[in-house]
Chains A and B, each alone.
Chain A
Amino acid sequence: MVDTKVKEALDHVRAGAQELHGTISDAAAKRGGAVKADLEAVGQKAKAVAESVKSSIDTQNEAAKKLLAEAATHIEAVQKHAAEGLKSTGHAFEASVRQTLAGARASVQKVSEAVAAMRSAESTKTRK
């Protein structure tokens, strides 16, 4: 059986990544668009999610580890684009918001696939 703490850690990472996407997608969808305060908040959330992803990688199975490593790469891109957005204006700012959103979406996908890999491994063990 998969350790409950390992499962909870991954669920926590996923919830954080989903929240990150929710924050940036809500900001991007606002009439008038996102503002710098939104990107600042996203950058801080992304930092927290990146830390939780990195701390959970070693406890997972190989398939989940690989997916979490890919998620970590996407979250680093989110941090980079959010930071760039804070220094830009106009179209460049809007481009940073879109890139931040795309990175956040890609990171949730990878974390979610890691959750699926963990659940599938657990299910296989249970059936044996």
Chain B
Amino acid sequence: MHNYIAVVFDDTSKAYEGLHTLWQLDSDGEVTVHGTTVVHRDDWGQYQVDTKETHPALATAVGVGVGVLLGALAGPAGAAVGAAGGAAIGAATGGVVGLTADLPRADTRDQAAVETRFVLGAGQSAVIADVSEDWTSPIDTRMRSLGGTVYRRSWSALRDDAWFDDNIASYLYPYEYIPPRYPRD
């Protein structure tokens, strides 16, 4: 099964532990990870995505792309939120928070939450990943042990969304990327 997953954690260090564990599962051959990124939502509700990009326009493009993917992960209502809210996701580069804009309306967010329950709360972080898995238990079990909650949508379901485009995968790193400002252990 080719799936996109979002694993929500209560803090950033756990999210990076989750990221490392995901790539470890890949090394062990339990799953195959095609790409990952980490998204944070700060205490003020603004989203940031970790990227190598230092050029503001390119970093913003990453934020928009990952925003669309987050919306698509949240299901049909979320797809509209994600596309509209893509620009609201800034890119954190070198410790600097990128561009932000208004968040989607609360009533629309609530609708997405009801449909899929995938919500990144203030102060939480999520690992977003494109994976192939023959069964879901390796990821579910390991992420649960780290305190993460896994949300999953199939690649084929995402492709059917009007907002989906093939470039989404290109915003995910095809290896374990941890920004220099985060400690590795």
Contact status of A18 and B174, CB under 8 A, knowing A25-B52, A116-B132, A120-B134: yes
- Are the CB atoms of B34 and A113 closer together than 8 Å? yes
SS class, residues of chain A in contact with chain B: helix
Question: Is the pair A21, B175 in contact by a Cβ cutoff of 8 Å?
Answer: yes
Minimum CB–CB distance for A5 against chain B, Å: 16
The stretch of A35-43, A52-60, A75-83, A104-112 in contact with B is: A104-112
**A29 and B54 contact, CB distance less than 8 A:** yes
Shortest beta-carbon distance, A32 to chain B, in Å? 9
Whether A29 contacts B32 in the complex (CB less than 8 A), given A112-B174, A120-B134, comes out as no
Contact of B174 among A28, A29, A31, A109 (CB under 8 A): A109
Q: Is the CB of B170 within 8 A of A106?
A: yes
Counting CB contacts under 8 A, is B17 at the interface?
A: no
Closest to B27 in A: A11
The answer to whether the Cβ of A86 comes within 8 Å of any Cβ in the partner chain is: no
The one of B32, B51, B53, B169 in contact with A105, judged by C-beta atoms closer than 8 angstroms, is B169
Take A26-B52, A109-B34 as given contacts and tell me if A119 and B29 are in contact as well, using a CB distance cutoff of 8 Å.
yes
Bound-state CA distance A29–B175 (Å) is: 16
Known: A29-B54, A113-B132, A120-B134. A105 touches B170 (CB 8 A): yes
Scoring A29, A31, A33 by chain B CB atoms within 10 A of each residue's CB, the highest score goes to A29
Identity of the chain B residue whose Cβ is nearest the Cβ of A117 in the assembled complex: B132
Q: Is B35 an interface residue (CB 8 A)?
A: yes
Q: How far is the CA of A30 from the CA of B93 in the complex (A)?
A: 11
Which chain A residues lie closer than 8 Å to B134 at the CB level? Answer: 119-120, 123
Contact indicator A102/B174 (Cβ below 8 Å) = no
Which B residues contact A (CB, under 8 angstroms)? 2, 29, 32-35, 51-55, 58, 132, 134, 169-170, 173-175
Chain A residues in the interface with B (C-beta under 8 A): 17-18, 21-22, 25-26, 28-31, 33, 102, 105-106, 108-109, 112-113, 115-116, 119-120, 123
New A-B contacts (5) at CB < 8 Å, excluding given A113-B2, A116-B34: A18-B175, A28-B53, A33-B55, A113-B32, A120-B134
